[in-house]
Structure 1
């Protein structure tokens, strides 16, 4: 596909998505004199924090440069799902820097290890705190992680912006400060990378608590630690957190939570049983819907 063809396809795609998003979906009033189906161009520009003229040129297939930060903002403003987001970046000839639903480092073998660790909660994370994969117990430990969009499955974002995730962490302020300090330490080796800059920009924009923690300029290394979570299904659980590094450098790691006492062990087993039952029910519903179709 040539550059010119891609520009026209991108313009058409943006127009189509804009016309099929209602003002109510993005928290805007409809008003009485609205004739444009969906959103107006100026509304998309406002939601994406870009200029109206610049966005208009984009929909007109003008030969302008589009940064990954702007594409990310447009994807969020237009409520694109994972497939639509990937299509947007492909048409723009750019690489999506956010975590994808699938990651080359997440092999079937790694997923098998996560499953075998059940009923203990475990997940795979990278050094940006993106959650790349997780087992069923982890998926219900702090919130319903399956219901969280893939691009939002990041422990920093969840700890600073997701109400249920935040309420599940017993010592929230301490955890937030430590995570911000670890993120600052890790970011020193990735200062020029768009994904890191975009994550930092989003955290600073969406959380005053993060801005305050970030301005402390604290730096700490990863270490094992005892943690407590207040799960909405089974109550308080106390676990020992261990990072199992998957590479010589501090990059991808397997995060495991081992119960610190018998009560926590029993509660994690109950949580795992709930997760298995939910997964079985979801599979049965999907199978039934497939039969009806």
Structure 2
């Protein structure tokens, strides 16, 4: 079994950045000949960066370290923005050490108790990789029965991209999904080389073409508040405002709550869903299901 090259993630990032550029974008003359690759060729990037094609090829293969001056040149050549530049430097540093796998994260007790008290508001706790650490009964009724999802797969972004029923809840799925990818990019910059995060990104890059494209893109502005529009199979369309609160005891844990404007159909729908959650054998629920 072959071991993974130390700078594989750096090489993959360089490939995706190269693929989105055209010769015209970087000022190269058009040859008029058909191109066999999407974006720039390796030799074109090497030419613009002032290094040999062989050297750049080995960079994309993840088998050689790269100096800071060469990184700075590649930032310019590949037209990277500030966030992408930071990400590139973080990836370059990953090969210098072997990151340790972190222990399984558990919800902070005070957040768990707070969830139990929130009976009329859907709420869940997200962890360091946007893992779903805990939820209340109304969040389960709104999204899915998280108890039925294996713990190792209980991740908000994974469900959003790989579970059809979870995905179909969102009327604005693409907007929500791109925002989640942006949030993962920010987490990756803060925790370079995190094995769990790297594995999640690799899994979703293989599973979904949209994720793969957005991960390599420039949309990096994650959100802490916003509005979600859901199509719930029992109570119809819901427009919900969401906010996230950071846990002081563990800043990697976020309490996410969703609310609706009082007096709106969305608020009425949440109240109806809450009543069914309080009384799971309600005849009205059976009639609607």
In the superposition, the TM-score normalised over structure 1's length comes to 0.57
Distance 1:274 1:210 in 2: 35
In the superposition, the TM-score normalised over structure 2's length comes to 0.58
Q: Which has the larger radius of gyration?
A: 2
Question: Contact conserved, 2:261 with 2:267, CA < 8 A, in 1?
Answer: yes
Question: Contact conserved, 1:142 with 1:164, CA < 8 A, in 2?
Answer: no
Distance 2:234 2:202 in 1: 34
Distance 1:238 1:169, change over 3 A: same
Please give the residue correspondences for 1:169-180 in structure 2 after superposition, counting only pairs within 5 Å. Answer: 169-180=170-181
SS at match of 1:118: coil
Please give the residue correspondences for 1:52-201 in structure 2 after superposition, counting only pairs within 5 Å. Answer: 103=106, 105-107=107-109, 109-201=110-202
Distance 1:155 1:134 in 2: 12
Distance 1:126 1:218, change over 3 A: same
Distance 2:163 2:103 in 1: 18
Question: Contact conserved, 2:188 with 2:194, CA < 8 A, in 1?
Answer: no
Distance 2:150 2:250 in 1: 28
Equivalent residue, structure 2, for 1:224: 225
Distance 1:166 1:178 in 2: 14
Distance 1:96 1:152 in 2: 17
Distance 1:152 1:98 in 2: 16
SS at match of 1:170: coil
Equivalent residue, structure 2, for 1:242: 243
Count of aligned residue pairs for this structure pair: 182
Superposition deviation, residue 124 in structure 1: 0.6
Superposition deviation, residue 249 in structure 1: 7.9
Distance 1:279 1:257, change over 3 A: farther
Distance 2:180 2:128 in 1: 11
Distance 1:267 1:242 in 2: 19
Superposition deviation, residue 191 in structure 1: 1.7
Distance 2:101 2:251 in 1: 22
Superposition deviation, residue 99 in structure 1: 5.2
Equivalent residue, structure 2, for 1:202: 203
Distance 2:122 2:242 in 1: 10
Equivalent residue, structure 1, for 2:271: 269
List alignment gaps of at least 5 residues for structure 2.
1-99, 283-289
Superposition deviation, residue 266 in structure 1: 1.8
Question: Contact conserved, 1:226 with 1:238, CA < 8 A, in 2?
Answer: yes
SS at match of 1:188: helix
Which protein, 1 or 2, shows the higher relative CO under an 8 Å CA cutoff with sep ≥ 6? 2
CA RMSD of aligned residues (A): 2.4
Distance 2:104 2:182 in 1: 21
Distance 1:156 1:128, change over 3 A: same
List alignment gaps of at least 5 residues for structure 1.
1-94, 281-293
Distance 2:128 2:218 in 1: 18
